[in-house]
Structures are given as C-alpha cells and as structure tokens.
Amino acid sequence: MVASSSLSNSNNQAAARAAAERARAAAAERARVANAANTQRANARAADRNSVPGYSGKSSFEASPNSSMAAARAADRQSMLGYTSGTLRKGAEGDSVKALQERLTASGFDTGGADGKFGPRTERALKNYQRSQGLSADGVAGRKTYDSFNGVKTPGTKTDGVTSVNADKSVKGPVNTQLPDSGDGFTTYGPRRMQYGTEQTVKNMQEIAARYKAATGKTLEIGDLSAKGGVKTDRHKTHTNGANVDLRPPSTNGGPSNWKNAGYDRDATRTLIQEIKRTNPNAKILFNDPVLIKEGLTSRAGGHDNHLHVSFK
Ligand SMILES: [Zn+2]
C-alpha cells in the first residue's frame, strides 16, 4: 500500500510537472503571438502616422506596447496636437487651439492666423474641413476630427464615395450637354449658347456648386463653358473641349467681381477652389489673386482678374 501510494504520488508529481511545463509553453506561445500582433499594430500605426504630411513623431504605441489600439490612437492625438480628451469648440483658448489652427491652415483652411483663440474664423475653417472630410460639420473638434487629421479613415464617409466615383470618370467626350440655367447652388451668366460641356463636366459643376453652397451659403455664378459641339468661337482661344468653365469670383457685397475690388470674398473663393480640387484634384485653375497663387491654389494668366478659369482634366 505504502509503495503503491508512493509510486502513485510520484506519477502524480510527474504528471503535474508535465502539465506545468505545457502551461508554461502555452503561455510562452501566447506571448510570442501577442508580441507579433503588437509589432504588426505598431507598424500599422507608424504607416498611419507617416501618411500624415510632415508628421514624424515617435510611436506612442512602442512606448506602451500593451495598450490597445484605441489607447495608442488617443496617445497619438495627444502627442500630435496637444489634444487631451473631450472636444474643442468656439470660446476655447490655449496651445491645443493654436495647434488645431496650425493644422487647419496646413490643410488649406484659413483660420486667420494661429493665435490660440477659437473664434468664428477658426470655427468656419473647422466646419469647412469637416465637410471636406465627410464628417459632420459641427465646428467642434473631437475624436473623429483628430482621427481624420491623423489619417485614420472613417469608413463609409461621403468623401470616400465622392472621391472614388469622380476620380475615375473622364471629362472627355462629346460636347453636347447643356448646363441648366440655374440649379442647386448656381446661376449662369453670359450667352446660353456657350454653356455646353461634356456630360461629366456639367455633372462636376453641378456637384461642386451644391457643395460650395452648403459650405458657404453662397450661390456660384457660372459663365462660359463651350459652344455646342466644341466649335471655335471668337469669345475664347480655348473652351472648345467641353471641359473648360469660367466662374465669377464670390463677392461679399454683390458688387462687380474682381479680386482687386473691396467686396471680393477671398475665403469663399478659397472654399470654392477646395471644393473643385476635392473631387477633381488635377483641375487647373487660372485666377490672379496673388494670395491664392502664393497658396498654390491658382495660376496667373492674362485677363483673369475678374473670373476663374477652370480646366477639368
Ligand atoms: Zn476661361
């Protein structure tokens, strides 16, 4: 009995040791898999960060390898923009507002300087940025806005749809579609016989006008496109391919439009150009406002003080 019991004990101990060894091995394997996953996530985060122009901060994920993706992103938002938690809205002040203003300006949305005070111009710039990203344009910078700055895509946004749909569509084709004389966000000026374009050009202008109206509350004035069939006229050297469009620059007082006039609305003009480029990034725009030229949004050309010339590509 004693011997048998002792043998049984010894067998049990051996079994227990084997079980403990298996558990250790399993734990080691789990740790190895977890580390590999952590590395993969860290690489994904690094790629995300690198996709943000000019951003080269150290990975906050590496600093805390056991944290979740959400925590890593939160840390990124903080390290990048002074974002701590919650939201920034009109009335806020401080370094995080300044960082937000700098970021908006770098993205092409003018806040009227980075003074660290969240005023109406910052709110307007933020709303326009949010709209351009397909986010809800509430003028409040929160998690989704900062994720968007960080290059984290919000799935199913309007931006994704619009960009991918239009990017593939050629503006080439027969010049036989007439722009309606008015529509959502636009009216026309000049002779109706000059308002023919390719089907895609006319569609582009209607969509751009609707977005511009939503962003600014203003109505876009559209002038010459092409004559039907793209025939040459004495009105233009170009404008024969159905993909050129002339636009009046927005004004704040309804007066004659020219960038040299007091009533010229540069902010609205900038928004208009951003709406054009958002879905048609290769469009070439001629307009002589020296500020917009300096910002890389337009190019100088003779005779283009009082209208923007857009060539869709
Ligand atoms: Zn033109």
212-234: pLDDT as tens digits: 999 999 999 999 999 999 998 88
Which tokens sit at 198?
Answer: 């390719």
Task: Classify domain 169-311 by CATH number.
Answer: 3.30.1380.10
Report how far ligand 1's centroid is from the alpha carbon of 247 (Å): 8
Report how far ligand 1's centroid is from the alpha carbon of 310 (Å): 7
pLDDT of 19 reads 81
Report how far ligand 1's centroid is from the alpha carbon of 299 (Å): 13
Q: What is the C-alpha to C-alpha distance for residues 189 and 246, in angstroms, rounded to an integer? A: 10
* pLDDT greater than 80 at residue 34: no
**pLDDT per position as a tens digit, 165-197:** 334 468 889 999 999 999 999 999 999 999 999
Report how far ligand 1's centroid is from the alpha carbon of 191 (Å): 14
Residue with tokens 């937000």, as numbered in its chain: 100
**What are residue 197's DSSP bridge partners?**
177
Q: Where are the domains of the chain?
A: 2-63, 82-154, 169-311
* pLDDT greater than 50 at residue 159: no
Within 13 Å, how many C-alpha atoms sit on residue 278's CB side?
28
Q: What is the C-alpha to C-alpha distance for residues 274 and 137, in angstroms, rounded to an integer? A: 16
Torsion over CA: 33, 34, 40, 43 (sign): negative
CATH class held by domain 82-154: mainly alpha
DSSP state string for 223-286: ---B-GGG---TT-SS--SS-EEEEPPPBSSS----TTSTTB-HHHHHHHHHHHHHH-TT-EEE
Q: Give the residue-averaged pLDDT of 98-123.
A: 90
